[in-house]
Amino acid sequence: MGKGAVLQTMRLTENGIIDVNNKPGELMVDTIQKGANPIVNHVLPGQPRAHWRFDEGEGRSTVDKINLATGYIDSHGRDWVGGVSGSALLFDGYRSAVVVAQDEVPVFNDSISIEAWINLAAYPWNNAPIIHQSSGVGGQGYYFGVNSSGNLLFTANGETLVSDSVIPTNQWVHVGVSAGSSLSLYINGLVDKSQSLGLKLSVPDMPLIVGMNNTALPATDGVREGELNEYNHFSSLFGIEGAIDEIAIYDQPLTAKDFSDSYNGFISAQKETPDPSVTKRQLPDLEKYPQKFGGVYTKLDFHDAWDSLWRVTENEDIVVRFDNKPISYVYWRGTSHGMNLVTDNRWMSDQSVELVIPDPDDPETPASVNPIVSLAEHMSDKAALRTHVRMIENTSARVKVHWRYAAADVFDSLVMDTAYIDEVHTIYPDGVAIRDVFYHPVADEGGIEFYQDFQWLLGPGQKAEDFLNYNAVSIAGLKGDSSDVIYPISLSQPSDGGDPTPLPGNIAVLNSQTSWKVFGVSQAGGFFPSSNEESSKYIDFLGSVFPFAGPWNHWPVAQIPSDGRFSVANDRVSHFAVGNLEAFEYGTGSMMYGFTQGTASDLQGLAKSWISPPKIDPTKGVENNTVTFETDERAYHMTAAKSSEVISLIAKASDTNPLVNPVLVIHRWGSNKLPEVRFNSEVSSGVKTGIIRDTDGSPTLIVWLPVSTSQDSAIEIIRNSVSGD
């Protein structure tokens, strides 16, 4: 609750509301500083007209030490961090600001100088202010800030100077500007760039603001900039992402010596070097979760400022871990709860159902489409408003995750009122998962739409060459050798304008520089590699052109209203694509994912066991002697006969229909006890079993059997006395 809030409690009875109590609300956001550093006392160059030291270290306001003017902190909390001197303010880039009423701000006319210390967590989406009193991003007044490439800038009454040097991220940097008859920018005590200027400031009757724009701007480098503010890439308010400390403003032009003395004097007066890591950010650490198979509800952290944007419980996200394997399936609000396959801090994410509505008035556009021109996908749901993830099974035998989301655009508008998707991911102890996708508007056509695209996530500071090389993907069919896809690659476009022919192979292994590698299997079809026709001009790969699609940083984590923005640096979480399998075109449309230490051809047996599974014949203990294979969860289903203590099965395996790590789902098991499982008359080691409750309330037994064979084999399920999990 905010300042001035009232907490009201009452009881509702059949006679109305009674026992009403009111008491002052308490501030609930975290306002306490983290690790303040020693105060640095040094001599400033001249007499500042305002000096914001930000050494309060707590609370929702800060005071100018010269004029005692109050700056009110508008934020989501967690504002205070250790600064270059005492404490500093941390800005989230989307809400955080310090606002000072205009009648408490000094007036500047013919000259102004500003110095400050900043620690950028990331470069802003466009121009963002360290401090300003302006309208129109300095069109009137003054604006001292940083641009999207990390260059320092100063604008006064529409005239702008931009530094040649780029400010590094995750470091404390001293920045300054001197404006009078000339204009100069300073970085760490050294002049960077100068030009002549006859300053006549006309400051608007507006507040002074630290860290945040008061004019909406679009992010630079939109993928489709021609559709700015029309279709996919929109303006918004944003600001500095990082920490700001020790702002001093002067009404005279400071000299080069002044800035040098101020910087060097401050450095020499420091009793210890401040820790620059207060702005450091990285993708969530998964190693704190034990390597034991199963799913856990949790709340994954990114960094303090971003974490404070969210109003979620401790059970918002899901992590699935595995026995003695450094692999994970992760469902994180930062990726709009989409499935991520993670190993060695390398995150592979994926696409969702994506819909493009270019023209609602087109006669071929279904009448059910809402009258908006839009692109809709889970990536556009920045705040995870229309996405939810939950576990519907979590036993030693498997984990089932249900992910529900909407095909909505960046303004949370549905392309159709029915545009919702339900995905069920069935995950097994061998690290293999089946992704079943159901899109409601095409329920009569099987409920399947395009949904797959292998997309690596790059954490801040990571580069694509840290993940893989030019042979980024290996592909194979159900027989024969595998082959590498060498990037950059572009498939030939048919003369009739149709889709290009995919590369042959429905098994794809992503050749990451890790021990375990992500793979995917579709039920048929081929592989479409991503070309680099849509790639960032700023990001290279081993010193040459970027060979893949992307990277883009409008998603994940980002909160800007854009569905396409190229990365300009390796400062933010970003993603790039290597290609997709034709999963939705074939069979039931579901797809297999997993991790392997082998090659694509090594996965042929596993793939065949799913796509063309062997028949299992019951010989005892199965009702109606019926066993069916459910492709969309990679499992054999049967119902236990009531009177039998043993279920006996014969798997008719062969080279074309191998049996690999089969799963048995036995309905109406009739007990909460786990069985003994035998394979070819021997007690099976490593078998995983679990019991769930079916929708009719009866117990259902799940058995995961770690065996691989191409010969007929006997399986026995013997009732025992071990309690289920």
For the chain, first and last CA: distance in Å? 41
- For 366, the 3-state DSSP assignment is coil
Those residues with Cβ within 8 angstroms of residue 260's Cβ, 6 or more apart along the chain or in another chain:
189, 190
**Which range has highest mean pLDDT (2-16, 160-174, 343-357, 410-424)?**
160-174
Q: Where in the chain is the domain with CATH 2.70.98?
A: 294-605
Q: In this predicted model, what pLDDT tens digit does every residue of 366-420 receive, in sequence order?
A: 777 877 777 889 999 999 999 999 999 999 999 999 999 999 889 888 888 899 9
C-alpha to C-alpha distance for 126 and 146, rounded to whole angstroms: 8
Residue 454 pLDDT exceeds 90: yes
484 near 517, Cβ under 8 Å? Answer: no
Whether the pLDDT of residue 2 is over 60: the answer is no
pLDDT at 68: 96
**pLDDT value at residue 722:** 64
Q: Within 10 A of 686 (CB to CB), how many other CB atoms are there?
A: 12
- In this predicted structure, what is the pLDDT of residue 26? 44
- Whether the CB-CB separation of 319 and 302 falls below 8 Å is answered with no
Element (H, E) at 640: none
Least confident among 179-183, 213-217, 274-278, 521-525: 274-278
**Which CATH fold topology does 612-723 show?**
Immunoglobulin-like (2.60.40)
202-211, 264-273, 379-388, 503-512: range with lowest mean pLDDT: 264-273
Separation CA 200–CA 159 (nearest Å): 11
Question: Could you give the 3-state DSSP secondary structure of residue 12?
Answer: strand
> What's the confidence (pLDDT) of residue 630?
98
Q: How many CB atoms lie within 10 A of CB 256?
A: 15
β-pair type (635-639, 663-667): parallel
Residues 166 and 150 sit within 8 Å (Cβ to Cβ) = yes
Q: Give the C-alpha distances (Å, rounded to integers) separating 66 from 38, 367, 424.
A: 21, 64, 61
| SS3 per residue for 46-71 | CCCCEEECCCCCCCCEEEECCCCCEE
- Is pLDDT of 532 > 80? yes
> Can you tell me the distance from the alpha carbon of 291 to that of 312, in angstroms, rounded to the nearest whole number?
26
Average pLDDT over residues 192-214: 93
* Residue 28 in this model has a pLDDT that exceeds 60: no
Measure the CA–CA gap between 7 and 22, rounded to whole angstroms.
Answer: 6
May I ask the CATH class of domain 294-605? mainly beta
**Those residues with Cβ within 8 angstroms of residue 43's Cβ, 6 or more apart along the chain or in another chain:** 265
Residue 34 predicted with pLDDT over 70: no
Checking if the pLDDT of 220 tops 80, the result is yes
pLDDT tens-digit map of 100-157: 999 999 999 899 999 999 999 999 999 999 999 999 999 999 999 999 999 999 999 9
pLDDT value, residue 14? 53
Sort residue 345 into left (φ over 0), alpha (ψ -120 to 50) or beta. left
pLDDT of residue 11: 61
Distance, CA of 216 to chain centre: 24
Please report the pLDDT score of residue 228 as a whole number: 72
**What was the pLDDT predicted at 430?**
98
> Residue 637: which pLDDT band, with cuts at 50, 70 and 90?
very high
pLDDT of 244 above 60: yes
Q: Grade residue 32 by pLDDT with cuts at 50, 70 and 90.
A: very low
**Bridge partners (DSSP) listed for residue 517:** 596
- Residue ranges, CATH 2.60.120.200, the chain: 50-216+232-270
List, for residues 76-105, the tens digit of each pLDDT value: 999 999 999 999 999 999 999 999 999 999
Structure tokens at 650: 């014969």
pLDDT at 476 over 70: yes
Average pLDDT over residues 476-489: 97
Which whole number is the average pLDDT over 633-656?
96
Find the mean pLDDT for residues 195-214: 92
If you ran DSSP here, which 8-state letter would residue 575 be given? Answer: E
Residue 1 banded pLDDT, cuts 50, 70, 90 = very low
Other C-beta atoms within 10 Å of 37: how many? Answer: 23
pLDDT in tens, 424-451: 999 999 999 999 999 999 888 889 999 9
Amino acid at 72: Y
Q: Which one is predicted more confidently, 406 or 643? A: 406
Q: Domain 50-216+232-270 class?
A: mainly beta
Per DSSP, the three-state class of 708 is strand
- Report the pLDDT averaged over residues 494-505: 88
Beta-ladder partners of 394: 399
The predicted structure's pLDDT at residue 305: 95
- The average pLDDT across 322-336 equals 98
Query: Strands (DSSP E) along 506-656, which ranges?
Result: 507-510, 517-521, 526-529, 540-541, 544-545, 549-552, 574-581, 591-596, 615-620, 628-630, 635-639, 646-652
Q: Residue 5: its pLDDT value, please?
A: 56
Which DSSP state fits 158?
T
Cβ atoms of 546 and 532 closer than 8 Å: yes
Write out pLDDT tens, residues 663-698: 999 999 999 999 999 999 999 889 999 999 999 999
